[in-house]
Structures are given as C-alpha cells and as structure tokens.
Amino acid sequence: MKRRAIISVSDKTGIVTFAQGLVELGFELISTGGTFKVLDEANIPVKYVSEVTGFPEVLGGRVKTLHPLIHGGILARDIVEHRQQMEQNGIGFIDLVVVNLYPFRETISKPGVSFEEAIENIDVGGPTMVRAAAKNHGRVTVLVNPKSYEEVLNVLRETGTVSAGMRKRLAAEAFAHTAEYDRLIAGYLERQLEPVGGFPRTLRLTAQKVQELRYGENPQQKAAFYINSEAALGSLARGKQLQGKELSYNNWVDMEAAWKLAREFDSCAAAIIKHTNPCGAALGNTPLEAYKSALASDPVSAYGGIIALNRVVDGPTAEAIKECFYEVVVAPDFSPESQDILSSKKNLRLFAVGRGENDRVTPRLMLKSVDGGYLVQEVDRGTTPIDEWEFITEQKPTENDLKALDFAWRVVKHVKSNAIVVTDHRQTLGVGAGQMNRVGSVKIAVEQAGEKTKGAYLASDAFFPFPDSIESAAQAGIRAIIQPGGSIHDPEVIEAANRLNIIMVFTHRRHFQH
C-alpha cells in the first residue's frame, strides 16, 4: 500500500527538496493552499486536499483539512477494527504529517497590527493535524521543524521506516510547538483585556535550549542557556559569539550586568564587570577613551573581567584591550580590523549583540525563582531625570555638578546593594558593593578612590539612615552627594551636609539591587 504524506507549512524552508525526496521514496503527497502552489510549480506530483476530501475549501480557507478523510487517515491505528471502518468509509492511512503554523508571532510583532488581523492569523486546522499526528505517533511521523527534514529523509532511505523512538521525539517536539503557539495567543488576548503594566493571570514560560554549559556557578552544578522565544533583535540572547571559548554560566551573568550598565548611557560608554559589579565605568568621546578611563578606575580588579561597550569596537580599542586579560568583550558589533587584532587571543570571547528595532528595549518583567514558585517584578527601567531632583542643601549644584551627579546616579543603579559609587564627571573612582551596612560601602568606595575623592561625587542607591556616612564623605573631600532620600533621619542627614558644606540632591527614587 502506498504511503501518504500531508504537507501544509507556513515556513517553506527546504520543503521542495524534502517533498521531492518523499516522492522518490514512493510517497503520495497531499497539500493545501500556498504549499500546494509551491510544490506544483516545482513539478512535484501532489494532490490538492479537495481531491482527497471531495469538498472544496470554504469560508475563506478557514475550512480545508478539517474533514474525516484527513483526520481519520491521521488518527487511525493499524488494528482490525479501525481498518474495517476505514474501508467502509473510504478513508486511507496518512503516514506522515508535515505542518507548521500561521505566523502568529510575526503578525503581532508588526507595528500597528489590528486585532482583526491578529485573530485571522490564528491557525486552527494546522494545530489540529499536528496534535492528531503527535497523539498517534505510534504509527504516524509528525514534522514541525524544517531542521528535521534531512534526518527523516536519511532514515527513510536507509531503513525504509522511522523508528518508534524517533517518532516519539518528533511528537514531543510537535506538542511543544502547539503549546508555544497557544501560549502566544493566550498572552496576546490577555494583554487586550488587562491594563497596561498588569501582571498576567497565568505566567507562561517558554524558552528553547541553546546549549548546555560546562557547569553552573560552581563545577558541581549543571547548567544550560535557554532563549526566550519572544526575545527581540538587539537583546543579549539574540547576539552572536564571534570567537573564543564556549560561554559559561558566570560569563552570561556578568555579560548581562555589563551590557545593562553600558546601555544605560546614550553617550559613548564602557563598563568592566567582575562578579556582576562594575570595577570600572566611564564615558568617552571614543570607544578607546571610554575603555581606557574605565580600566583606569580599577586596573587590578579589571583583570579577568567582562568588558561592555555601547559602540562598535574599532581597531585602536581592540589594540588596547589586547594588552590585558579579559574573559569576554560585549558590544553592538566589532569592526573587521578589531576582529583581526583580537583573533590572536584565542580564548577571548567576542560577543556581538547586534542591533534591531528594539535594541533599546528591555523585557517588562523579570523573574526570580524561589522554593516552589517565582517572584515576578517589573524591570527597573531608567531613572529620575535631573529636572525632578530636589536640591535640599544650602549649597546648590552647578550645571557641571548636575552632569557629574547624573553619571554617578546611573552607575550606582547597577551596583549590588548596599551600593556606593564615587566618581568624577565621567569616570568611576571607587565602588562599594554588597555590604551589610552603608557605612562599610562608603568606606570601601572612598578608600579605593584615594586622593581622587577631593572634589569628587558620591552616589548611594538608597537613603542614608544616619549622618555618619556624610561625615566620612566630608573627611574624604567629597563635593556632592546624590541619594534617594526618604529616611526618618533625613533632617539630621541634611543638617550634617549643610554643616560640612556638601551639596546634596534627593532623587526620591531608590535603586536597590539584591
């Protein structure tokens, strides 16, 4: 009995070659709509689905494969009772189902897409065939991914049949395909009902494994990297590694921290990260200037760190980077000259994030797992603009002071709490991160900055609960402090700043990062 395959695909990658291979193996092909047209124009023998069902496509193509002669052929098991019923009703077995679905994700991603257009791109017949074939994978092979075409053809040529194990694997992939499709639709519809910024009633997480990593934070922990199927071009996950060793779990964590800090600025910026904290961050007129200033902030800690630049890495910058040991360099892209220069550092990973329409967009929500559940919060986007700051001391900041404080405030947002940053106008001088009390963070940042604290600027991610940190800053020669404010002891803190002749600014926005 001749084997039959039904083919109906939105993504037509490789479908002509695959269909030709099936015909050469003796398969009879059934197809629909655009897929039929592609195969017919390629002179591949194929039957239109209406030839099989004896019923035309109706309702603008909404109904074509939803018919007993199709679904009976897919769902039938090779048992006596089913064979008898199929013979009585003129149903033939369908052995192979090749289907992928209407481009719903691509449709809702288009600017200005209407609700009506989105609804029209919800596939009904496709998922029904996929699920039917996946349910009956004991007999039927289902394919939803063009990457599997060659593998299946090779197996059919070598053995004449697809093994039970492979059919089961392909069925699991098919159910994952329809589950992700339904997740997208449900999420889209829920967003039409919920207020902007609301949290979804059901948190649906779908991500594809890209690779297994060597290990997690420690060698005894296994790890893998997954990509969110909705990640936009210009996001870190959609980037491309150009050279170097495989990325590790800790590399990814530090790359995220570095990229977020570099992207905080519209001006040319560089950040050098160790253990998710910046050991150096700076602005510059060129990538080289920004990088050199960031390195000068703490050249000892920078060893073995992660660099991020928000501009394309050019030749001069690559020459400077080449002189030190780093794990990864992250940037929008690398010039051919810079790649040639850095190619001699075989283990150095170069990671080009690329650009897209949404290259400045971050996810709206962020997740953290806890025992048996998830914490979900909005991403801490942006920060308080200068025109909303409150100048609460007798001495007021100049325009130059405001620019320096803005730089310090944007950097401290990316330091682990309790966070203190000491800067000049364009460069970090000292960073105090992750201490159990704010006084300890001030002490570390001031000591690291050394003599450069004279006339420098200090930023704190949260309020100062007591005047002691202000007194330490004054002893070091700090000119101005930026902090959220909000402590019950604010009057005492302000009084200390006035007494010690320090400028202080309140932003009324906290940037804790636990």
Question: How confident is the model over 160-178, as pLDDT tens digits?
Answer: 888 999 999 999 989 988 8
pLDDT for 191: 74
DSSP string, 82-135: HHHHHHHHT-----EEEEE---HHHHHHSTT--HHHHHHT--SHHHHHHHHHHH
- In angstroms, the Cα distances linking 44 to 27, 151, 319 are 11, 21, 56
Please say if 403 is a catalytic residue.
no
Residues of the chain with pLDDT under 70: 1, 54, 56-65, 102, 194-198, 356-363
Please state, as a whole number, how many other Cβ atoms lie within 10 Å of the Cβ of residue 429.
24
pLDDT for 363: 60
444 vs 481: CA distance, rounded Å: 16
Q: What is the pTM of this model?
A: 0.78
DSSP string, 17-71: HHHHHHHHTT-EEEE-HHHHHHHHHTT---EEHHHHHS---BGGGTBSS-SHHHH
Q: Please name the residue that has the structure tokens 């007591």.
A: 466
CATH T-level assignment (fold) for domain 4-192: Rossmann fold (3.40.50)
Residues 6+ apart with CB under 8 A from 73: 4, 86, 91, 92, 93, 94
User: Whose CA is closest to 101, among 33, 27, 190, 155?
Assistant: 33
pLDDT for 59: 67
CATH T-level assignment (fold) for domain 386-506: Cytidine Deaminase; domain 2 (3.40.140)
CATH T-level assignment (fold) for domain 208-352: Cytidine Deaminase; domain 2 (3.40.140)
Please say if 416 is a catalytic residue.
no
The single residue of 275, 292, 403, 425 carrying the catalytic annotation is: 275
Q: Cα angle vertex 96, ends 91, 97, to 5°?
A: 95
Residues belonging to the chain: 514
pLDDT for 231: 78
> Which residue ranges make up each domain of the chain?
4-192, 208-352, 386-506
The single residue of 67, 135, 425, 489 carrying the catalytic annotation is: 135
- In angstroms, the Cα distances linking 94 to 129, 148, 434 are 11, 19, 62
Q: Are 97 and 74 in contact (CB under 8 A)?
A: yes
> 208-352 and 386-506: same fold?
yes
pLDDT for 358: 45
